[in-house]
Amino acid sequence: MVELIGHFHPLFVHLPIGILLLAILFELLPSKKRYRSLKRSILTILVIGSVSAVMSCITGYLLSQSGDYESEAVGWHQWIAIILTIYAVGYAWMRDRKEYKSYRKTFAFVLLILLMITGHLGGSLTHGEGYLSAGFGSTSGLDLTKVNLEQAIFYEDLAKPVMEQRCYGCHGSSRQKGKLRLDAPEHILKGGKDGKVLIAGRTDESEMINRMLLPLDDEDHMPPKEKPQPSAQEIEILKIWIASGADFKKSLKDAGQLSAIGKIISSGNIVTPSDVPADEITAADQNTLNELTKLGVVLIPVASNSNYLSANMINVTALDSAVGLLTKIKEQLIWLKTSSQPITDNHLSKLVQLEKLTRLTIDHAQITDAGLSLIASLTQLQYLNLNGNHITAAGLAPLKALADLKSIYLYQTQIRKEELASIKTYFPNSVIESGDYSVPLLPSDTTEARAPIVKNAA
């Protein structure tokens, strides 16, 4: 109840501002006959303004108890607002006393100054420190042409500036909406009241990215739609930083992403991920998406301006129903994650209808070699995670036909270490991750720095 009343603060806070400004305007008008009728209303205006200021102080105090604001910043705003309110009451009391008549314009001017200070402090709480001066600078976002990529620290010189421009207003030092603060590494790693927002190496599980990719009119979209939105380029920078391990000290070069960021600059645009089709697609049926969401499927766009979708089924309970519904969005669904769900070969017989899948994660399921032969029909597959399944080296043979397969995960399977060499001959251009040992790359293998990124698959 207390928090609910506090939410009325934005409503009440604008009343004293407007009403008291009107009193100030009337007070500063010349003392001419035609303005006398306006001046006679000043006392009434001041009384109404003072009452609304009191209501604003009360609701503001209750709102401050939500924990979304830094206490010191709130304290300054709170005490200046109280001083303003007391001053407005005193101004109303002195307004019609003859002994103070010569000081009326001075009273009005001081009230104006207090209103400006209080409003500025309130704006800093709502929009972040420096919001006023930011209006005089560039709002185009991060300028990569001014960053020395060879010496750049990935977080400090690239990721942090993006968050500073797009996130600090709601999640900075003065305000922490949802108890989330993003202006320092320790706060980023801690997360907010809904849990962690960043999972190193797993872009698709990092709420920081997922919220940015939601439709603009979605209530969970971040930043809020009335705020300046990050560019596709800025989102891509954050995605690459998280996918490469979200290290706060590594240089761009040490993170292995110098080439990826270099391409963003040279093209003047973001590089379209190779596992996202270049052709446009119509949006999926909203009723189907709503049904899937009710079953616990998390659906997000793979990019902010794309109708292609990523589906995460980790929290699904009605598995059979969810699998059946997924086939209705087969044109839009390109990334699928079913981690720890009891997916069987029978489920796979339906999932292979998702012909456009480029990423498939079915780790710790009940897939057998028979199921692998079904996966061979997914000709656009580039990433495949089979960790924790009952599969053998022989069962992988049918997947040789998947020419675009770049990454395969085989940890905790029945594949023996000595069989990895033969598996490598099946997939000479793929990175094979088996967990506790590595497979050396052949001269013909790809050398593109993608291994850290693909680990965040759907």
Residues 218-245 have a mean pLDDT of 83
Whether residue 223 has a cis bond before it, omega within 30° of 0: yes
Residues 18-39 have a mean pLDDT of 85
Residues 49-70 have a mean pLDDT of 76
Percent of the chain scoring above 70 in pLDDT: 81
Residues 411-416 have a mean pLDDT of 89
**More confidently predicted of 137 and 238:** 238
Q: Which of 17-26, 216-225, 449-458 is predicted least confidently?
A: 449-458
- Tokens 């009440």 locate to 12
Contact (CB, 8 A) for 203 and 147 = no
Q: What is the pLDDT of residue 437?
A: 37
pLDDT at 458 over 50: no
Residue 251's pLDDT band (boundaries 50, 70, 90)?
A: very high
**More confidently predicted of 174 and 310:** 310
Amino acid at 434: S
Q: What is the pLDDT of residue 233?
A: 81
Contact (CB, 8 A) for 6 and 66 = yes
Residues 412-420 have a mean pLDDT of 88
C-alpha to C-alpha distance for 457 and 373, rounded to whole angstroms: 21
pLDDT at 189 over 50: yes
pLDDT at 340 over 60: yes
Q: What is the pLDDT of residue 360?
A: 94
Q: What is the pLDDT of residue 7?
A: 58
Residue 8's pLDDT band (boundaries 50, 70, 90)?
A: low
Percent of the chain scoring above 90 in pLDDT: 33
Residue 442's pLDDT band (boundaries 50, 70, 90)?
A: very low
pLDDT digits (tens, 9 = 90+) for 111-127: 999 988 888 777 766 66
- For 350, half-sphere exposure in the C-beta direction (CA atoms, 13 angstrom radius) is 15
Q: What is the pLDDT of residue 265?
A: 64
Return the domain boundaries, the chain.
2-127, 144-267, 286-454
pLDDT at 266 over 60: no
In residues, how long is the chain? 458
Q: What is the pLDDT of residue 127?
A: 60
Q: What is the pLDDT of residue 65?
A: 67
Residue 318's pLDDT band (boundaries 50, 70, 90)?
A: very high
Residues 342-371 have a mean pLDDT of 93
Give residue 379's Cα distance to chain centre: 32
Q: pTM for this one?
A: 0.48
Contact (CB, 8 A) for 215 and 140 = no
Mean pLDDT of the chain: 81
- For 298, half-sphere exposure in the C-beta direction (CA atoms, 13 angstrom radius) is 17
Nearest to 342 by CA among 325, 375, 318: 318
CATH of 286-454, picked from 3.80.10.10, 3.90.320.10, 2.60.40.10, 3.40.50.620, is 3.80.10.10
pLDDT at 447 over 70: no
3-state class (DSSP) for residue 334: strand
pLDDT at 414 over 80: yes
**More confidently predicted of 245 and 435:** 245
Residues 211-234 have a mean pLDDT of 79
Residue 292's pLDDT band (boundaries 50, 70, 90)?
A: very high
- Run of H or E including 235: helix 232-243
Q: Which of 218-232, 294-308, 324-338 is predicted least confidently?
A: 218-232
Residue 68's pLDDT band (boundaries 50, 70, 90)?
A: low
3-state class (DSSP) for residue 32: coil
- For 408, half-sphere exposure in the C-beta direction (CA atoms, 13 angstrom radius) is 24
